[in-house]
């Protein structure tokens, strides 16, 4: 038995080839025709992969490898577009269910947490005595404001700082728009959450270059929109990058918006659908009248705060407040909005 096992273990493909040739010669000598010979050895030949099957497997493998490489190369872009589409769907769902308090939960199904504050409500003691924004002048004698800003954020206090966004501001609104629209990734992008009086949204999507061209035919206009395209957001971020005086914890900037109006007067405040924990609103030109509306359980406890954001100032506000603005006044008013994950 042992000798038989050793013999089989030494049997090679060359031995198999010789045996098959010998078998074929014996069948030829026995006058067995080619058709019958093929039938006899069919159990063996059926186990050998054909050229067609090997080619088929090779093609499938090659397509799979190329697909994986393409997905890896465009992974960030695909992820961003999927995130943007999901965000739009979730924003559309906000009027029916305010899910924002769940966005940072590990599990979207709230668990019972005895002795802990419900994650779906705010601490209204922090805002019940507030009557106005807190204005803080930026002084050259102050080397580090990050601790002060962080304390204001921790207690949900809206804070306006004079300065810190000089790198955002160009000579005129036209200069700012001209430089940013010169970047093709921004000019050809499709904005989302677009509200304006210069274009009928029922006609479908419009790229930013076309939108900015249309406003030239209006003596008075307003618009605000969010950059949903990843490349457009990066371009906008290069012109309105995060103020350096903010605490390091306030990063990254996940979304950005533009508010722009000229000689426009309307009685209704316009709300931005913000979802991140912290928002920075920087006034580039003119001024913007803002209104902060307390959310959820604080709606009937805390007062609505109103204030004006002058040029060169920026406002830091937390998710306790819904942010609204009023498009009004003569001249041009422009502000950039940064949503920060924090």
**Helix, strand, or coil (residue 10):** coil
Phi/psi for 331 (5° steps) reads 80, -170
Please determine, for residue 337, whether its predicted confidence score (pLDDT) is greater than 90.
yes
Enclosing H/E stretch for 334: strand 332-340
Q: Could you tell me which of 286, 281, 275, 269 has the C-alpha nearest to residue 325?
A: 269
Whether the CB-CB separation of 222 and 286 falls below 8 Å is answered with no
Greater pLDDT, 20 or 46 = 20
**Helix, strand, or coil (residue 337):** strand
Whether the CB-CB separation of 334 and 272 falls below 8 Å is answered with no
Question: Which tokens in the block code for residue 217?
Answer: 């035919």
Residue 336, beta-bridge partner list? 258, 282
Please report the pLDDT score of residue 142 as a whole number: 61
DSSP class of 13:
H
Question: What percentage of the chain has pLDDT greater than the value 90?
Answer: 52
pLDDT in tens, 196-220: 999 998 899 999 999 999 999 999 9
Task: List the chain domain ranges.
Answer: 2-72, 124-340
Please report the pLDDT score of residue 101 as a whole number: 55
Q: Is 80 exposed, middle or buried (0-12, 13-18, 19+ CB in 10 A)?
A: middle
At residue 5 the predicted structure's pLDDT band, cuts being 50, 70 and 90, is: very low
Q: Where does the chain have alpha helices with state H?
A: 2-9, 13-29, 34-45, 51-73, 75-93, 146-154, 173-181, 184-187, 208-214, 230-239
Rounded distance, CA 67 to CA 74, Å?
Answer: 11
**Helix, strand, or coil (residue 276):** coil
Please report the pLDDT score of residue 154 as a whole number: 95
| CATH number, span 124-340 | 2.60.120.650
Whether the CB-CB separation of 158 and 321 falls below 8 Å is answered with yes
pLDDT in tens, 269-300: 999 999 899 999 999 999 999 999 999 999 99
Question: What are the residues whose beta carbons fall under 8 Å from the beta carbon of 147, sequence distance 6 or more?
Answer: 247
For 148, other C-beta atoms within 10 Å of its C-beta total: 15
pLDDT in tens, 64-86: 777 777 777 666 666 666 776 77
Please report the pLDDT score of residue 23 as a whole number: 76
pLDDT in tens, 140-161: 566 678 888 999 999 999 999 9
Mean of the per-residue pLDDT values of the chain: 83
Of 112-116, 172-176, 243-247, the one with minimum mean pLDDT is 112-116
Rounded distance, CA 204 to CA 213, Å?
Answer: 17
Whether the CB-CB separation of 160 and 136 falls below 8 Å is answered with yes
């Amino acid at each position: 038995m042992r000798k038989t096992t050793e013999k089989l273990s030494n049997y090679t493909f060359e031995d198999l080839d010789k045996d098959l040739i010998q078998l074929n010669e014996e069948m030829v000598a026995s006058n067995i025709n080619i058709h019958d010979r093929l039938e006899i050895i069919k159990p063996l030949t059926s186990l050998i992969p054909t050229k067609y099957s090997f080619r088929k497997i090779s093609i499938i493998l090659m397509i799979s490898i190329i697909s994986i490489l393409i997905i890896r190369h465009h992974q960030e872009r695909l992820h961003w577009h999927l995130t943007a589409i999901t965000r739009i769907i979730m924003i559309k769902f906000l009027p029916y269910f305010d899910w924002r308090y769940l966005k940072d939960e590990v599990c979207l199904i709230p668990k019972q947490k005895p002795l802990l504050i419900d994650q779906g409500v705010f601490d209204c003691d922090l805002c019940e005595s507030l009557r106005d924004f807190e204005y803080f002048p930026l002084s050259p004698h102050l080397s580090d404001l990050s601790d002060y800003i962080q304390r204001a954020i921790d207690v949900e206090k809206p804070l306006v700082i004079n300065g810190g966004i000089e790198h955002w501001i160009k000579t005129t609104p036209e200069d700012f728009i001209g430089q940013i629209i010169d970047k093709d990734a921004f000019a050809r992008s499709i904005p989302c959450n677009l509200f304006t009086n210069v274009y009928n949204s029922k006609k479908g999507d419009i790229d930013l270059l076309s939108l900015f061209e249309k406003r030239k035919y209006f003596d008075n206009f307003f618009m605000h929109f969010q950059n949903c395209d990843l490349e457009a957001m990066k371009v906008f971020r290069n012109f309105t990058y995060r103020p350096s005086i903010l605490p390091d914890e306030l990063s990254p900037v996940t979304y950005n918006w533009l508010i722009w109006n000229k000689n426009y007067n309307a009685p209704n405040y316009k709300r931005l659908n913000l979802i991140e924990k912290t928002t920075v609103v920087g006034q580039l030109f003119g001024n913007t009248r803002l209104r902060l509306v307390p959310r959820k359980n604080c709606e009937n406890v805390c007062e609505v705060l109103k204030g004006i954001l002058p040029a060169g100032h920026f406002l830091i506000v937390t998710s306790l407040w819904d942010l609204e603005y009023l498009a009004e006044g003569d001249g041009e008013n422009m502000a950039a909005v940064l949503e920060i994950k924090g």
